[in-house]
């Protein structure tokens, strides 16, 4: 995947300005990827030792290293804006109407328990001057999902990023997801899912546009 760290930095600054960024420590000298992996590996080793797991076992001995690599390069890579996807926009010469991308896979992790959030997103916008490549909608959803999250913030971050890039408030985001902090622990409810939405512009003010989007998102 091609990335655009310049656009990523602009989106990051925009989210900071509106108070929608993921809570992060600010550091004048950010840790390198290698150092992050070292710290995580040490921490996972401590957790496993606290659970009295045998760290000499050939199935367990490399687990801290695997977890560290997974956190930095996969599950939480959306914390690093150098990974922000390159977003190709073109002039809306074709006078495109509503654009909807359905069933975008959402795979994230609850920031309260670091367990899985598994769901789908529907994203729509009404183009103004700009049209965004379809795959970029999926990539933006995935970028913000790949960090410790709460679904409410995830939904808003997707909306604000798209609104910023497309320069329009005519954006709608709908997320339906299962939270394993509810399914696998606590109340242990295997049937419920959580739905969040963020609507702007005509999706909020025009009942017909809102109804069309919600019907397609739920269908």
Asked if 125 and 162 touch (Cβ cutoff 8 Å), the reply is yes
DSSP per-residue codes, 40-107: HHHHHHHHHHHTT--TTSTTTTTHHHHHHHHIIIIITGGG-GGGPBP--EEE-TT----EEEEEEEEE
What CATH number corresponds to the domain at position 167?
Answer: 3.30.1130.10
Residue-wise pLDDT for 50-65, tens only, equals 999 999 999 999 999 9
What is the domain count for the chain? 1
pTM of the model: 0.95
Residue whose tokens read 């490399």: 62
The answer to whether position 129 is within a domain reads yes
Asked if 8 and 84 touch (Cβ cutoff 8 Å), the reply is yes
Active site residues: 110-113, 151, 179, 181
Report pLDDT for 138: 97
Q: Is the per-residue pLDDT at 27 higher than 80?
A: no
Residue-wise pLDDT for 97-106, tens only, equals 899 999 999 9
The answer to whether position 190 is within a domain reads yes
The answer to whether position 205 is within a domain reads yes
The answer to whether position 25 is within a domain reads no
CA distance 22 to 148: 8
Give the pLDDT band (50/70/90) at residue 171.
very high
Average pLDDT of the residues in 1-27:
95
Q: By residue range, what is the domain housing residue 162?
A: 86-218
Asked if 123 and 172 touch (Cβ cutoff 8 Å), the reply is yes
The answer to whether position 10 is within a domain reads no
The answer to whether position 46 is within a domain reads no
- In sequence order, which residues have a C-beta less than 8 Å from that of residue 44 and are 6 or more positions away? 63, 64, 67, 68
The answer to whether position 124 is within a domain reads yes
Asked if 86 and 2 touch (Cβ cutoff 8 Å), the reply is yes
The answer to whether position 43 is within a domain reads no
Residue-wise pLDDT for 88-144, tens only, equals 899 888 888 899 999 999 999 999 999 999 999 999 999 998 999 989 999 999 999
């Amino acid at each position: 995947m091609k990335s655009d760290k310049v656009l990523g930095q602009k989106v990051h600054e925009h989210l900071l300005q509106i108070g929608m960024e993921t809570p992060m420590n600010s550091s004048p000298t950010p840790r390198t990827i290698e150092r992050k992996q070292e710290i995580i590996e040490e921490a996972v080793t401590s957790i496993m030792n606290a659970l009295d797991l045998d760290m000499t076992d050939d199935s367990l001995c490399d687990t801290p290293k695997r977890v560290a690599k997974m956190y930095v390069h996969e599950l939480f890579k959306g914390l690093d804006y150098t990974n922000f996807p390159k977003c190709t926009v073109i002039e809306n010469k074709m006078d495109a109407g509503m654009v909807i991308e359905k069933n975008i896979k959402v795979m994230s992790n609850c920031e309260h328990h670091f367990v899985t959030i598994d769901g789908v997103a529907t994203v729509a916008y009404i183009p103004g001057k700009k049209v965004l490549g379809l795959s970029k909608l999926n990539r933006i959803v995935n970028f913000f999902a790949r960090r410790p999250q709460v679904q409410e913030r995830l939904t808003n971050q997707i909306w604000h990023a798209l609104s910023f890039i497309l320069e329009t408030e005519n954006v709608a985001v709908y997320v339906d997801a299962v939270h394993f902090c509810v399914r696998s622990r606590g109340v242990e409810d295997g049937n419920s899912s959580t739905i969040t939405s963020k609507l702007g512009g005509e999706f909020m003010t025009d009942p017909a546009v809102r109804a069309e989007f919600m019907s397609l998102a739920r269908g």
